[in-house]
Each structure stands twice: as structure tokens, then as C-alpha cells.
Structure 1
Amino acid sequence: MQIGLVGLQFSGKTTLFNTLSKKESDPSLQKEEAAIEVVKIPDERLDKLTEIFQPKKKVNATIEVFDIPGLKMSDDNKVRITNAFLNNVRNNDALFYVIRAFKDESVPHPMGGVDPVRDIEFLETEFLLSDLAFLENRLEKLKKDVQKSKDEKLKKELPVIEKCYSHCEAERPLRTLELDENELKLLSGYQLLTLKPLAIALNFDENAIPKVEEETKKIVSSLKEKNNPVIPFFAKIELELSKLEPEDQKVFMADYGIKESALAKILRTSYEMLGLQSFFTVGEDECRAWTIKKNYTAQQAAGVIHTDFYNRFIRAEVVHYDDFIKYGSFNKCKESGAWRLEGKEYIVKDGDIISIRHN
């Protein structure tokens, strides 16, 4: 599963990518290809379990992050959306708009001035027009093909495409349209841009720290669509934080008056947007967070560990993380009734500690 960082040139997108991936690259260099890194998801629960079990290895859950080359001014003094850019965006399962909210005369904005709402609406409008053009062409082709072939599959697709087209024509992104599982499955191969889950990262400078909450609320209140997660962050500060040891990070954040690093929140939000959650396996050899989709059964979760566990699944021993921390050991969890055996249809919860019984 992968998430794409999308934004205009000089938005701080590559600085954020460098921070997430712990890589060093010059943000001022204009890349022609998307950079890709596998990024660890911070999880305090896994950290605590590792502290308790002292394993040889700790393995965090991960996602792939794509740094899509930023949109820049073209020769006619306008920012143009290219097919190469759209194709890069389509390759992702969810999107994070990285939006500039800082002023710096030494770094020109490609649209002439800093205006976060304008930049967000620009991206949304361009993606909406791209979807609308695709749906219009698909609708026209479907109508012809249905008349010729009478194919039942095409007949089922036609009303779904019509519904999506009407929604986009009304200037509403497809993520705001109610679609059932069958409809989503039917649309999955088309990689529609406004159907992808979206969050917004607002990049402020350090001068905005005292009023960042107020400024973020102003921006959100001006947006057409207000249901997407919006996370304020400070790209340069986050990059400096990522280079420090944990104790030094706390001192650094206290000096700047920052209560929490936005980095962990951005990654957690990305994880949640993709419909993912984690369960844990623990022991002396390894403590690991395993990534699964929400509503996975115990048998499906077992299959993520190893295909043999899926095929030869008997039972899952389950204790939720909160119960384990509350009671302090597996034995005490058993005594209290928090430890239990679950069958293959059990729906795994985020934070379950699981051991698989198999033959």
C-alpha cells in the first residue's frame, strides 16, 4: 500500500519526504521521477512491548511513500498539470497534499504568492476535471457497447459510471459519493483521482507556532470540502527533529513550544486512510507489528504471517494490548478472562496481541 505526496514546487514536500524516509537529498533539485521509500509507522505500543520482552529484533509496520515531483511554472507563466504528473498520482492508494503556508521571498511561489486555499482548490479542480474527462469517455463507450453486446457486466457498470459522472459534473469529488463494495470494486481498476482517500499537510514556518491552530482553522473554514484530515506541520523543524536522539527531541520541542511532532500524526493518518491497522506478535526473538486491512478475520491475519498458518489454522490466542498492559502478564490476563481462544471468523482488532495455533 502506498501514499503519494502531492504539491506545488517549493511547498516543502521533498523536505517532508526526507524526514519521513530519513534520507538526505537537496529539496531545491528538480526531480523528474517520483522518489519511493518504505517508511516505518511509529507505534508507542510496539515500543512498550519491546521494552517488556527485550527481543532480539523489533519490526515496525510500514507503508510506501512516493515523493511526486512538484508542479512548477511552465513557459507561459502558468502552472500546468501534465500527463506524467497525473500518472504518478494515479499509482498511489491515497494522497497527501503538501501545501505551502509559509512566506519566504527567497523561495518564489510558482503561482505568485502564498495562498493555501487556492493551492488546495487548484489540485482538487484539476483532478476533478481529469476524472470527469475519463468518465465522459467511458460513459460514451459503455452506451455503445451495451447496445452491441448486451453484456451483463457492462449493464451493471453503466449506472455506476453515470452516478459518478453526475457527481463530478456537480463539482464534487468522488470520495464524497456513497458507493457500496461492489461499486468500489467495479471502479478500482480505473484509478480515479478524486476517489482516493485524501489528507492535507499545511507547511508553516516557525514564526507561525504560537498561532498555528488559529491559522489552520481559518484555512479549513474556507475549503469547499471540510471532511479531509488537515495536519499543520513545520517541515524544517521536523527535519531537524528527525536527526536528534529522543531525549534531545523533547528539549528541542520544548524550546519551540511544540507539544507533539506532526510526523507521527502524518504517518498514522496515512495508515488509517489506507484502511489499515496493526496486530502484534511478541516473544524473545521478535516483537512485530503486522499490517492488515480493517475487518480481517483471525485466519486472514494468520495468513499475513505465513501462508501455512492460513491453510492450517486451528485457533488464535488473543489478548488486547490494553489488557496486557493493565494486567502485566499473559498469566494474569488468563486469570482475569482477558486472554481467550478465538476461531477463524474472529474479527481482529487494532492492537490485538496474537499467537496462532496451527497443525
Structure 2
Amino acid sequence: MEIGIVGLPYSGKSTIFSTLLTHKSHEQTGGKQTAERGVVKVPDSRLDKLTAMFNPKKQVNAIIEYVKVAGLEEESEQTTGLSSKFLTNLKNVDALMIIIRNFENEFYPHPFNRIDPSADIEYINGEFLISDLMVVEKRVEKLEKLVQKTQNEQEKRELTLMNRLKEQLDQEKPLRELDFSENELLILRGYQFITLKPALYVINISEDQIPQAAEIEKSLVQFKTPFCSIVTLSAETEKEISELSEEDRKAFMDELGIKEPALDKLIKSSYDLMGLISFFTVGEDECRSWTIRRGTMAQKAAGVIHSDLEKGFIRAETVHYDHLMEYGSMAACKEKGLLRLEGKEYPVKDGDILNIRFNV
């Protein structure tokens, strides 16, 4: 899964990106002239406890790839829409992390000389809406000519879909709020519209605003939808926390009244935003967290582990993490009837521990 980090100049993109990478194991590629990429482990205390229980040779967390995209810095100074470079860098991301500034800093002034999160969200959303609308209008124009000439049924269906998108964008509403059929989603896959992607608004506050974080978040509730979430954090404070030892970190967080690093919440929110869940595999060699979409059936989940497991799927030996923790062993869970054999149509639940029986 890839999440694109975007925002206006001096909003805190670089601080959040670098802190995410400091905070968890990572790899980084790219530079200021291109999109910077970093792979971050998804924190999961359940996997930590499974590792403690099974004592494997290694623990493997699920990962998220973050892509810090340069571009909005340039767009605020031009009127011709988002650059092709910016759009190319966003093309393959699965979701957006939009950094919104809510702090004063005279040395790094806001590009529009204001501190107004609502206005910034509306400005950025407006840029994305215009970008998508330009693509749709261009495609509608081309399809109208093609349909008139060929009367091709597939092109007619696409034209109907594009006109529906245009109507939505003309009303200044993002495409993510529309419902689509499977066939429509197949058509849309080739376009990678920005407003079709889920969005996580990260409200970057100062350290002295931390006690008001919930209140600040509440003031932006109008931007929350099933496909848009809001997380409030202080990037500078999180950077300090990430650089401390475990002992000093706890003391510092207690002093500020912080229950958990906001970046843990940020990573988890990124995960939840995409409708993703985790299941686990355990054993002497490794304990691992696997990522699937909510509602994925057992046979498809087996394929995430290895294609052979999907092809030769027989049954999934399944127990839930909560039950294993409650009773302390697989044997005890089996005795209680909680270790089950599930078929290929079983929808895997978040926290399930699977052992795939297969034959190839």
C-alpha cells in the first residue's frame, strides 16, 4: 500500500515524513527533485505478543510505503493547474495524506499569510477537483466524437460514466463520494483520479496546542466522511519523541499528557482508511502480520501468503488472537472448540490467526 504525502509549503510534510521513517524501521529512496519514498512498519501490539508467545526466529510486521510528493509548492505560484510531474508522482498512490498547518512561525510564513485549516483544506481540495475535471472534460470531448463516429457500446458506457463524473465535479464534490459498479471501477482504474482516493487530513499543531487537539479536530468535523479521516498531531513534538530512549520517551509523553505517540495513531489511521485488516501466521520460523482488505475470503487471503496456497487451498485452520490470548495455547483453544477449520468462502476477520492446509 502506498500513501502520498502532500501539502502546502511549510506545513510540516518533511518533518512528518522523516519522523515516520525515524520512528519505525524503514527504507528511503528519491530526493527533493523527485518523490521521496519510505517503507514503514505498521505497529501492532498483537504481533508483539504473538512473538513473545511463540519465540520465532523473526517477527515480520505489515508495511506501508509513504511517498512525499513535491509539487504543491510550485502550484501555489501558477494558474495552469497541477503539473504533470506532481500528477505522475500521485498516480499510483492508494490514498492521500494531506498535511494542514495550524501553527504560527514567523520564520516560515504561510504561503497565503494565514493560519486557517479549513481554508487550506478547501484550497487543496479545489486544486484536486480542477485537476480531475480537466481530465474528465478532455475525455468527454474525445468520447463524444468517437461515439458519434463508431456507436461503440463500450465507449457509450464510458461516456455515460464520464458525464456522471463531470456532474459531480461541477458541483465541487469529490469522486470518492460516488458509488461505482465493478465494471465502472475497471474503467476508472486507468485514470487514477485524485479525488477518488481516500484522504487523511493531518492537522499539524504546535506543542502548546496539544491540550486543545481534540477541540481543533472537532472544529473540522465537516471534512470527515467515510473516505476522509482527520488526525491532529504536533510534528515537531513527535520528532522529539521519536529521538528519545524508551524510558525518556515515556516520561516526556506523561509530562505532555500523551497516551501514545501520535505517529502510531497516524500509521494505524492510514491502515484503517484503506479498509485494511491484519491476519497472522505464527510458528517457530516467524510470526508475521499480513494485510488484506476487509471482507477478503480465506482462499484469497491464502494467496497473499503464497500463490500455491491459494491454488491448492483445502481449509484454513483458524483461531482468533483474542481467544489465543485468553486461553494461552492452541491446544487449549482446540479443547474449547475455538480452533476451527474454515472453507474458502470464510471472510477473514481482523486478528485471525491462520494455518492454511493446501495440496498442490
Q: Same fold (TM over 0.5)?
A: yes
Partner residue of 1:16? Answer: 16
Shift of the 151–99 alpha-carbon distance from structure 1 to 2, 3 Å rule, reads same
Please, which runs of 5 or more residues in structure 2 have no aligned partner? 25-30
Shift of the 139–70 alpha-carbon distance from structure 1 to 2, 3 Å rule, reads closer
The Cα of 1:73 is off from its aligned counterpart by 6.3
Q: Are the aligned partners of 1:72 and 1:79 in contact in 2 as well (CA < 8 Å)?
A: no
Q: Supply the AA of the counterpart residue of 1:163.
A: R
The Cα of 1:67 is off from its aligned counterpart by 0.7
Partner residue of 2:195? Answer: 194
Q: Supply the AA of the counterpart residue of 1:101.
A: N
Q: Are the aligned partners of 1:21 and 1:38 in contact in 2 as well (CA < 8 Å)?
A: yes
Q: Equivalent pairs: percent with the same residue?
A: 50
Shift of the 74–140 alpha-carbon distance from structure 1 to 2, 3 Å rule, reads closer
Partner residue of 2:241? Answer: 241
User: What is the alpha-carbon distance in structure 2 between the residues aligned to residue 224 and residue 216 of structure 1?
Assistant: 10
Shift of the 81–139 alpha-carbon distance from structure 1 to 2, 3 Å rule, reads closer
95-104 or 242-251: which moved more?
242-251
Partner residue of 2:160? Answer: 159
Q: Are the aligned partners of 1:99 and 1:116 in contact in 2 as well (CA < 8 Å)?
A: yes
Q: Are the aligned partners of 1:73 and 1:79 in contact in 2 as well (CA < 8 Å)?
A: no
Determine helix, strand or coil for the equivalent of 2:283: coil
Partner residue of 2:298? Answer: 298
User: What is the alpha-carbon distance in structure 1 between the residues aligned to residue 228 and residue 301 of structure 2?
Assistant: 29
| 1:256-284 Cα shifts (integer Å, max 9, x gaps) | 12122211121112112223221100112
Shift of the 141–80 alpha-carbon distance from structure 1 to 2, 3 Å rule, reads closer
The Cα of 1:77 is off from its aligned counterpart by 9.0
Shift of the 36–336 alpha-carbon distance from structure 1 to 2, 3 Å rule, reads same
Shift of the 164–125 alpha-carbon distance from structure 1 to 2, 3 Å rule, reads same
Shift of the 116–56 alpha-carbon distance from structure 1 to 2, 3 Å rule, reads same
Q: Supply the AA of the counterpart residue of 1:106.
A: F
Q: Are the aligned partners of 2:23 and 2:242 in contact in 1 as well (CA < 8 Å)?
A: no
Residues 177-216 of structure 1 correspond to what in structure 2 (within 5 A)?
Answer: 177-216=178-217
Shift of the 182–79 alpha-carbon distance from structure 1 to 2, 3 Å rule, reads closer
The Cα of 1:213 is off from its aligned counterpart by 1.4
User: What is the alpha-carbon distance in structure 2 between the residues aligned to residue 107 and residue 152 of structure 1?
Assistant: 55
| 1:299-318 Cα shifts (integer Å, max 9, x gaps) | 11111111211122211100
User: What is the alpha-carbon distance in structure 2 between the residues aligned to residue 200 and residue 148 of structure 1?
Assistant: 45
| 1:41-66 Cα shifts (integer Å, max 9, x gaps) | 01111111111112110000001100
Shift of the 55–167 alpha-carbon distance from structure 1 to 2, 3 Å rule, reads same
Shift of the 297–46 alpha-carbon distance from structure 1 to 2, 3 Å rule, reads same
Q: Are the aligned partners of 1:199 and 1:228 in contact in 2 as well (CA < 8 Å)?
A: yes
User: What is the alpha-carbon distance in structure 2 between the residues aligned to residue 142 and residue 243 of structure 1?
Assistant: 55
Between the two proteins, the alignment pairs up a number of residues equal to: 353
Shift of the 227–190 alpha-carbon distance from structure 1 to 2, 3 Å rule, reads closer
Shift of the 75–345 alpha-carbon distance from structure 1 to 2, 3 Å rule, reads closer
Partner residue of 1:49? Answer: 50
Residues 45-124 of structure 1 correspond to what in structure 2 (within 5 A)?
Answer: 45-69=46-70, 71-72=72-73, 81-124=82-125
Instruction: Give the TM-score taking structure 1 as reference length.
Output: 0.92
| 1:217-268 Cα shifts (integer Å, max 9, x gaps) | 22335x5979721100110111122223434322110111212221112111
Q: Are the aligned partners of 2:39 and 2:63 in contact in 1 as well (CA < 8 Å)?
A: yes
User: What is the alpha-carbon distance in structure 2 between the residues aligned to residue 230 and residue 171 of structure 1?
Assistant: 20
148-157 or 277-286: which moved more?
148-157
User: What is the alpha-carbon distance in structure 2 between the residues aligned to residue 309 and residue 227 of structure 1?
Assistant: 32
User: What is the alpha-carbon distance in structure 1 between the residues aligned to residue 224 and residue 267 of structure 2?
Assistant: 25
Asked if residue 218 in structure 1 is aligned to residue 210 in structure 2, the reply is no
Partner residue of 1:2? Answer: 2
Shift of the 270–304 alpha-carbon distance from structure 1 to 2, 3 Å rule, reads same
Partner residue of 2:27? Answer: none
The Cα of 1:34 is off from its aligned counterpart by 0.9
Runs (4+) of structure 1 moved beyond 4 Å?
Answer: 73-80, 223-227
The Cα of 1:159 is off from its aligned counterpart by 1.5
User: What is the alpha-carbon distance in structure 1 between the residues aligned to residue 301 and residue 221 of structure 2?
Assistant: 38
The root-mean-square deviation of aligned C-alpha atoms, in Å, is: 2.3
Residues 262-273 of structure 1 correspond to what in structure 2 (within 5 A)?
Answer: 262-273=262-273
Please, which runs of 5 or more residues in structure 1 have no aligned partner? 25-29
User: What is the alpha-carbon distance in structure 1 between the residues aligned to residue 175 and residue 77 of structure 2?
Assistant: 31
The Cα of 1:83 is off from its aligned counterpart by 2.8
User: What is the alpha-carbon distance in structure 2 between the residues aligned to residue 194 and residue 161 of structure 1?
Assistant: 14
Determine helix, strand or coil for the equivalent of 2:173: coil
Partner residue of 1:27? Answer: none
User: What is the alpha-carbon distance in structure 1 between the residues aligned to residue 187 and residue 219 of structure 2?
Assistant: 38
